[in-house]
Amino acid sequence: MSTDEVVLRKGVYRDSVTLMRISKTLSDLDGVEVAVVAMATPLNLDLARDLGFELPAADPADLLVAVRGERAEAAHAELDALLSANAPLAAASDSEQPPLTTRSAARRTEAGVVLVSVPGEHAYAEAVDAVEAGLSVMVFSDGVPVEQEIALKDLAAEKGVLVMGPDCGTAVISGVGLGFANVLRPGPVGIVAASGTGAQQLSCLLDLAGVGVSHVLGVGGRDLSPEVGGRSANRAIAMLDEDPATELIVLVSKQPPVRPAVPAKRFVEASADLTATAEHVLKELGRPVPEWPAWPAWAGRTVTGALRGIYSGGTLCAEAGGVAGTGTFVDYGDDAYTRGRPHPMIDPTLRLEALAAVAEGDVVLMDVVLGHGADPDPAASYAHAIARCPATVVVALIGSAGDPQDLHRQAAAFREAGAAVFTSNAQAARHARSLL
Amino acid sequence: MSLLSGPPRVITVGAELLGEALDAQAVPRTAVAWRPPLPGTAGALTRVLLDPRRAAANERAVRRLTAARPHLAGVRRAAEALDLPPRTFLHAGPPITWDRASGPMRGALIGATLLEGWAADEREANDLLADGRIALEPCHHHRAVGPMAGVVSPSMWMFEVRDEEHGGAAYCSLNEGLGKVLRYGAYGPEVLDRLRWMDAVLGPALAAALRVSGPIDLGALIAQALQMGDELHNRNRAATSLLLRELAPALVEAAPGTAAEVLRFAGGNDHFFLNAAMAAAKAGTDAARDIPGSSLVVAMARNGTDFGVQVSGLGSQWFTGPAGVPDGLYLGAYGPADANPDIGDSTITETAGLGGFAMAAAPAIVRFVGGEVGDAVAATRSMYEITLAEHPAYQIPGLGFRGTPVGIDVTLVARTGVLPVVNTGIAGRVAGTGQVGAGLVSPPAEAFTKALAALTKRAAIQ
């Protein structure tokens, strides 16, 4: 018989992405219909009530555990194992106090950079700790007000450090990928990016052409706005200008209203077509332009409908929309879709729903981004839905040969499911357009 | 090292998934065990952290706190040393009125009224106080501190501690010993007899001795005592011995007739030094006051009803919450039902990086406050998370001579939810009872969150 078990646990905190992963694992257990493990915020309480759970009064600092099923109590036992497996890296011994703030962590280790991904309303405290400690910081968090961004970047200028973000999804520093980042060979190209997925497409294409990058420095999508005035872009360009490993600097941004200072080194400003930009960079370096790897396929489905862009990357979505010149494009990585849930590069739920909703005869164009931080096996997440989808599916597969998901295995799996696969997003968009 | 000069070591704070991505790349990292701030503080925290004066103001405030050089300069009567209005008593903690005062606070005020001879008996004293014919003001408003009830009446002798670095002065009454004593709210004949002896013998002898010895460097004594197992709040045995070693020859010279009884009294009271430590702590925290933009706590104090804090950037305003009942061990047949809520200015020691903050230095008392040595170490380590500095002179041998955690920052308390660890004595609830135990107590979080909210109102407009 199915029962509801609802428990509030005090003094336990895990971030929302971790808890969503735990909820999913528990929901997949035999004898469990649904499990909600979440901090008891008003939003999460509403979510659990919508599922029909009766909830006691709760404090946002409590951990809500609501399980329905024949073996609901078994889920609670499993939860303990999952929570301890997902505990933040604890200190070496019991007598060690783990750092509770970035300030405390910075005082005890010789770090080079801080990666902040707490919810946006709390991000300033951690980021300002980093800058005050003289450390560069990548603010992955979104939803940070612009005046906080400006204050942070002004303080960073005083301290001689770089603020990447807020809302910075990607950075690669001397081969270390922060956030969503591809495994790239070392090389002469330094990238300054106001757009995370744009930088990922460009650097992956260069990598496929045998050209590596020195660093990818994200600056956040708002850095080149008139208010922020390119504070971080200017600093990042100056840093790359001084960096001996960098020969050529590329600025990736969606038509910036503010233009940063031009460096002394060779400089390329990305156009709206990132594949064309990659080719431009290769020519500047005197390198041949290869055929971009692609695995076209004919799904055998007649096209009678419209083009539907189902994207996870904002810049990729805009690029594809521009190249295709027609169709309906939705960026599921937009703030409007990511409130209270993980980014679609991690969690396929929203795009699986979108795939299930397309009509027969439509063409679906979607991006799949590989690399650290992203879905460890996106083909496994989407192949079934693509195979069942009544539309023709075209995938822009953004990845490098070194990515942990294995670019070629992913391409083969998507193709097996019936999708045409391109490593160039622009080529994928042209292909999709040509099917109409 | 510049950001781009090689693969960086990373500090991660937030989504564990992004940390795991670094682990997969074998990048060395330090993970912050982050959790959301105290409920309702997120907006205020960011506004206070955005105040451009904050970082420099806090640096200056904590530097002044730790640079103070407290010296025991003399022993003087309260009426002469403090700026006391007529018919006024000082008391511990934030301001309080008779109707809200707890049992031990009322008992101590009655005792002081009898000591001053302003009333013939307990009932008359009670009436005077209840009618408001004796004014009550916090010790902290007069550069003074008092343990437990902390009642100071005009005739009482006070330790005078001078800060030779910044020129300030701070005062604390003389310690009466343990058991039935005024500071725990007792006012029976033996309590008043002891106070009269202190008035006639102890005070004058100490004053004379200090004139002979000259100022005694309390900072040096505190630093040594920490290395001898004191934390200067619940354990003062080493510091008392060290002070007597300094004072004894001068006492014998200056007051040969009473030196023996004075030394016997002080030597028989392990807490004799506590009051000097409190004045020394007060001298340091007062040096850190009134720095615009600073979120440093400059006083934590309890009056038996409310727990209050004062903050450097917020002047003399108090931010209060209900005082909690300490958790600890009880004397004889007493139990938690007999305990009064937390009371006393002795939390000035924690405010200055001693007491509970230096617990790791005092393994001998951890059982007394109900714990293991590991708990003491953990308590001190956790205090580094809410403090701005490590004390340059006050060090803990067991932690590799690391400086004690010093300088509580209101923003760090709100961010971490970690409240200051306070070691304390426990007073009996009923007036006249005296001490019933000792233990640990947690301050109310709201005292800190109210101070944080007030800081937003004073934050400089950008």
Nearest to B30 among A111, A117, A173 (CB): A111
Q: In the predicted model, is pLDDT for residue B78 greater than 80? A: yes
pLDDT confidence of residue A90:
45
Higher pLDDT, B428 or A249: A249
β-strand pairing of B343-344 with B70-77 = unpaired
% residues pLDDT > 70 (chain B)? 98
- Pairwise CB contact (< 8 Å): B4 & A174: yes
For A242-292, the pLDDT digits (tens) are 999 999 999 999 777 888 889 999 999 999 999 999 999 999 999 999 999
Q: Which residue of B has its CA nearest to A128?
A: B49
B1, B10, B11, best to mutate vs chain A, most A CBs in 10 Å: B11
Among A24-33, A148-157, A356-365, B264-273, the least confident range: A24-33
Where do you find CATH 3.90.1700.10 in chain B? Answer: 49-65+290-458
Give contacts of B377 with chain A, Cβ < 8 Å.
95
- What is the mean pLDDT of the segment spanning B97-113? 97
- Pairwise CB contact (< 8 Å): A161 & B3: yes
Q: In the predicted model, is pLDDT for residue A93 greater than 50? A: no
- Fold held by B68-279: Enterococcus faecalis V583 fold (3.90.1710)
Phi, psi of B319 (to 5 degrees): -125, 120
- What is the mean pLDDT of the segment spanning B423-443? 87
pLDDT confidence of residue B369:
62
Give contacts of B31 with chain A, Cβ < 8 Å.
88-89, 98, 105
Task: Name the helix (H) or strand (E) containing B310.
Answer: strand B306-311
- What is the mean pLDDT of the segment spanning A300-319? 91
Task: Name the helix (H) or strand (E) containing A178.
Answer: strand A176-179
Q: In the predicted model, is pLDDT for residue A96 greater than 90? A: no
β-strand pairing of B216-217 with B88-91 = unpaired
Burial class (CB in 10 A: 0-12, 13-18, 19+), A11: exposed
Q: In the predicted model, is pLDDT for residue A316 greater than 60? A: yes
pLDDT confidence of residue B370:
62
Whether A344 has its CB under 8 Å from any CB of chain B: the answer is no
Give contacts of A200 with chain B, Cβ < 8 Å.
none
Higher pLDDT, A56 or B224: B224
A15, A154, A405, best to mutate vs chain B, most B CBs in 10 Å: A15
Q: In the predicted model, is pLDDT for residue B172 greater than 80? A: yes
DSSP-derived secondary structure for A108-120: HS--SEEEEES-H
B47: pLDDT confidence band, cut at 50, 70 and 90? very high
Q: Which residue of A has its CA nearest to B6?
A: A174
B154: pLDDT confidence band, cut at 50, 70 and 90? very high
Rg (CA), chain A: 23
- What is the mean pLDDT of the segment spanning A194-210? 96
Whether B295 has its CB under 8 Å from any CB of chain A: the answer is no
Averaged pLDDT of chain A: 91
For A42-72, the pLDDT digits (tens) are 888 888 888 889 998 888 888 999 999 888 8
Whether B400 has its CB under 8 Å from any CB of chain A: the answer is no
For B357-378, the pLDDT digits (tens) are 999 999 888 876 667 888 899 9
A302: pLDDT confidence band, cut at 50, 70 and 90? confident
- Pairwise CB contact (< 8 Å): B378 & A113: no
- For A173, residues 6+ apart whose C-beta sits below 8 A from its C-beta are A112, A113, A215, A216, A217, B3, B4, B7, B8
- What is the mean pLDDT of the segment spanning B422-444? 87
Where do you find CATH 3.90.1710.10 in chain B? Answer: 68-279
Q: In the predicted model, is pLDDT for residue A82 greater than 60? A: yes
Q: In the predicted model, is pLDDT for residue B161 greater than 50? A: yes
Higher pLDDT, A406 or A34: A406
For B123-148, the pLDDT digits (tens) are 999 999 999 999 999 999 999 999 99
Q: In the predicted model, is pLDDT for residue B462 greater than 50? A: no
- What is the mean pLDDT of the segment spanning A147-156? 97
Q: In the predicted model, is pLDDT for residue A91 greater than 50? A: no
Whether B227 has its CB under 8 Å from any CB of chain A: the answer is no
Whether A13 has its CB under 8 Å from any CB of chain B: the answer is yes
Higher pLDDT, A76 or B391: B391
User: In terms of Cα–Cα distance, which of A2, A334, A392, A408 is closest to A143?
Assistant: A334
% residues pLDDT > 90 (chain B)? 87
Q: In the predicted model, is pLDDT for residue B199 greater than 60? A: yes
Q: Are B426 and B437 in contact (CB under 8 A)?
A: yes
Q: In the predicted model, is pLDDT for residue A92 greater than 90? A: no
- For B361, residues 6+ apart whose C-beta sits below 8 A from its C-beta are B226, B227, B229, B230, B231, B380, B396, B397, B398, B404
Among A42-51, B332-341, B387-396, the least confident range: A42-51
Nearest to A104 among B18, B25, B385 (CB): B385
User: Whose structure tokens read 């003087």?
Assistant: B76
pLDDT confidence of residue A87:
65
Q: Rounded to whole angstroms, how far apart are CA atoms B152 and B257?
A: 28
Architecture of domain B49-65+290-458: Alpha-Beta Complex (3.90)
User: In terms of Cα–Cα distance, which of A233, A231, A281, A279 is closest to A254?
Assistant: A233
Nearest to A112 among B8, B55, B412 (CB): B8
pLDDT confidence of residue A299:
63
Domains of chain A: 3-85 (3.30.70), 103-167 (3.40.50.720), 170-290 (3.40.50.261), 294-435 (3.40.50.261)
pLDDT confidence of residue B459:
79
- What is the mean pLDDT of the segment spanning B179-194? 92
pLDDT confidence of residue A21:
80
CA distance A308 to chain B (A): 30
Q: Which residue of A has its CA nearest to B415?
A: A101
Phi, psi of B403 (to 5 degrees): -65, 150
Q: Rounded to whole angstroms, how far apart are CA atoms B70 and B177?
A: 23
Burial class (CB in 10 A: 0-12, 13-18, 19+), B130: middle
DSSP-derived secondary structure for B37-56: PSTT-HHHHHHHHH-TTHHH
CA distance A434 to chain B (A): 38
Give contacts of B385 with chain A, Cβ < 8 Å.
97, 99-101, 104
For B245-301, the pLDDT digits (tens) are 999 999 999 999 999 999 999 999 999 999 999 999 999 999 999 999 999 999 999
Q: Rounded to whole angstroms, how far apart are CA atoms B136 and A95?
A: 45
C-alpha pair distances (Å), A281 with each of A190, A216, A407, B19 = 11, 15, 23, 32
Averaged pLDDT of chain B: 95
CA distance B422 to chain A (A): 18
Q: Are A386 and A341 in contact (CB under 8 A)?
A: no
Q: Which residue of A has its CA nearest to B8?
A: A112
Whether B19 has its CB under 8 Å from any CB of chain A: the answer is yes
Query: Using CB atoms and an 8 Å cut-off, which of residues 157-186 of chain A contact chain B?
Result: 161-162, 173-179, 181
B2, B9, B18, best to mutate vs chain A, most A CBs in 10 Å: B18
- The complex's ipTM works out to 0.93
Burial class (CB in 10 A: 0-12, 13-18, 19+), A289: middle
- Pairwise CB contact (< 8 Å): B418 & A99: no
Q: In the predicted model, is pLDDT for residue A176 greater than 90? A: yes
- Pairwise CB contact (< 8 Å): B8 & A173: yes
For A213-241, the pLDDT digits (tens) are 999 999 999 999 999 999 999 999 999 99
Give contacts of B42 with chain A, Cβ < 8 Å.
121-122
% residues pLDDT > 70 (chain A)? 97
pLDDT confidence of residue A325:
94
β-strand pairing of B297-303 with B306-311 = antiparallel
Q: In the predicted model, is pLDDT for residue B98 greater than 80? A: yes
Give contacts of B11 with chain A, Cβ < 8 Å.
102, 105-106, 109, 111, 113-115, 130, 135
Query: Using CB atoms and an 8 Å cut-off, which of residues 356-375 of chain A contact chain B?
Result: 372-373
Q: In the predicted model, is pLDDT for residue A16 greater than 90? A: no
pTM, rounded to two decimals? 0.91
A19, A150, A176, A338, best to mutate vs chain B, most B CBs in 10 Å: A176
- Pairwise CB contact (< 8 Å): B9 & A179: no
Give contacts of A20 with chain B, Cβ < 8 Å.
none
